[in-house]
A and B are shown apart, each in its own frame.
Chain A
Amino acid sequence: MDALLQHLVNGLVLGGTYALLGIGLTLIFGLMNLVNFAHGELYTLGAYATFAALALGGLNFFAAVALAIALGAVVGAACERLLLRPLRGESIDTTMLVMIGLWIALQNGELLAWGGVAKSIPHPFPTAPLTLGPVGIAPLRLFVMATALVLIVAAWLLIQRTRLGRAMRATFQDRETAALMGVRIDRIHTATFAFGSALAAAAGALLGPIFLAYPSMGDLASLKAFSVVILGGLGNLPGATLGGLLLGIAEELGAGYVSSGYRDAVGFVIIILVLLFRPSGLFTRAERIG
């Protein structure tokens, strides 16, 4: 029983981080119809930015994380403006391909800049785990979960309560009409990509101290993010959140009780099964944003 509880707690923490990865991508994928292979690279960028800010810039931890998130937004906006906007009318395969190129370039650029050795990112939290009964959880992880939750709620509020969010939702549902209503589609695209990238960078900044920063860290993150997006339904923020938690717990239980070698297979099999029976994702009936 103790083991089960620990597995569940592990799964929740892991799932929270998957959710953070997923919500950024679900916005981009849902609104821009873009298979964003470079999403994982923004995650990596967030981690390295935090490292750089701490090690080279001497900032404190929280400022470094904030800086990393801001940098993610800026880089995301730049990518959209320079690479995606000129290719706006092209097919989904073309934009996907440019993202693949960006992925390869960014990852190898990072390898060149920082070397292949993983970087440890220092953090101010004590390392001794907090114990809640039979279950242990590190303070850093608790912080990560809390921050992730805050960011998710903030994202939700932005989408639901602000003008920008409304414009984004409108563009998602009917681009032409939104444009006719005066929504600047160009700006919405840039804003969406910047926002999604900022969230990915946030995930990297938060997870970097837990997991170390190295150039290929984004690959697995990308894959998990895609899984979460599909599980939750395209453009569905609460769906992505729940989907992330579900995936984390399922992986944890699968690795704990079935076989650790097949751990990732659990995630894949769940996805296949879910899509067989609920093709639009677990939590949607129709595709929507927000």
Chain B
Amino acid sequence: MLKRWSWMLLVSLSVGALVAPAGFAQAPIRIGVIEPLSGPVAASGNYVRMGAEIARDWINARGGVSGRKVELVIEDNKSDPKEAASAAEKLIVRDKVPAIMGAWGSSMTLAAMPKLEEYGVPMVVETSSASTITKRGNPWIFRISPPSEMEALGLEQYLDKLAVKRADFLAVNTDWGRGAVTAFGDMLKKKGAAVGAAEFMDQKDTDMNAQITKIKGGGGDTLFLTTAVEQITLVLKQSQEQRLTRKIITTGGSSSPSQLIKQAGPAAEGSYHIVFFMPWFPEAMPDGKLAKAFVDEWTKRGHPFEGLTEGFRGHDGIATIAEAVKIAGKDEPKAIQAALWKVSFTGVNGPIKFEKDGPAGKESGQSKPSIFVVQIKDGKVALPDFLAKK
């Protein structure tokens, strides 16, 4: 008897929680945020969230957008595409957000995209790098992060200075890693460099010695490394143990060189990193004042310094949406979508302005973010020699 009642209670509570009104408020502008806040990449997702919160607070401190406060509705996609789609559904239908920022990983973003089309709500993509996202013909997608091809182009100019003659790849076995391998490989071949082996590692792997041994035997002079910062740390340490002496270039912008210095120590020495934000010398960013202010605010809040290289994405994403709402004059999805095409301002990373990308008539928006290269020298992050004269 007790058991019957227990389960009925459980079911009622669950249904009740669902059916209860979502407590809607007219005045604030609500922006949805979908990030991986739990699971293996929880750190990155949380950094983006922290950056988004700084943007929100700054906007509200300045009086909000057209006098209305900005409110963030944050959902966890648990690093699972199914959850990303559910989160999008909930944000759009229950919370009635007119715009979303998300969803970090490319497969999560791809999973949420049909919902955007179904309901007609725009989403600003802040991290995902798969080129298909903007090529699928989804007019509700606006990306401020660079696809891998753009990243590779950003490095092209430095290829000679870096003296890359024969490169190998070690990448995480996801869309991001594979995309990077293809994009950078194509770019290298175009410039006449040789491409050696492409090795992969599973997202959860902690021991990459086998791959490193293979690469060591290949005789190249450069190793392109694309994965999350924890795995980069492990690869660097294990490469040092195996005395791999070639230069290492990490791609993707998530390498957080400060964290590498802390955790990999001397193993990180000499490595190059493609980043989209340089918190060590924010004055060198396109809007130096804004960048410095962001770094200061982040530090003031006690967030780890290592998170800045990802946290800025959250800021820029929210700032973009807020800008669009301002231009549109109302927080209505279709108006925001139209307004996003008119957005042109400078975020922490640099100028944000969307160009058409994808099949005609259904283009997505792709901005051209600034791309930087830094190096770890003497235990500190510095501009590489060939850039230091700036």
**Which A positions have Cβ atoms within 8 angstroms of B?**
3, 6-7, 10, 14, 108, 111, 115-118, 120, 127, 129, 136-138, 141, 210-212, 214-217, 219-220, 251-256, 260-261, 263-264
Contacts and interface: CB of A to CB of B under 8 A. Distances in A.
Given A252-B209, A253-B210, 5 more contacts: A3-B214, A116-B38, A217-B206, A256-B213, A263-B205
B40 A260 contact: no
Contacts of B40: 214, 216
Contact of B210 (A120, A136, A138, A256): A256
Given A116-B46, A118-B263, A212-B234, A6 B213 contact: yes
Nearest to A213: B230
Contact of B214 (A14, A111, A210, A260): A260
Contacts of A118: 43, 229-230, 233, 263
Contacts of A211: 206-207, 234
B161 interface: no
A117 B309 CA distance: 14
Interface string B258-277: 01001101110000000000
Interface in B228-280: 229-230, 233-234, 237, 240-243, 259, 262-263, 265-267
Interface residues of B, number: 43
B175 to A, nearest CB: 14
A3 B209 contact: no
Contacts of A215: 42
Given A10-B213, A127-B267, A212 B233 contact: yes
Contacts of A138: 241
Contacts of A260: 199-201, 210-211, 214
Interface string B85-106: 0000000000000000000000
A216 B230 CA distance: 12
B297 to A, nearest CB: 19
A253 B242 CA distance: 16
B206 A220 contact: yes
Nearest to A108: B38
A115 B46 contact: yes
A252 B41 contact: no
Contacts of B179: none
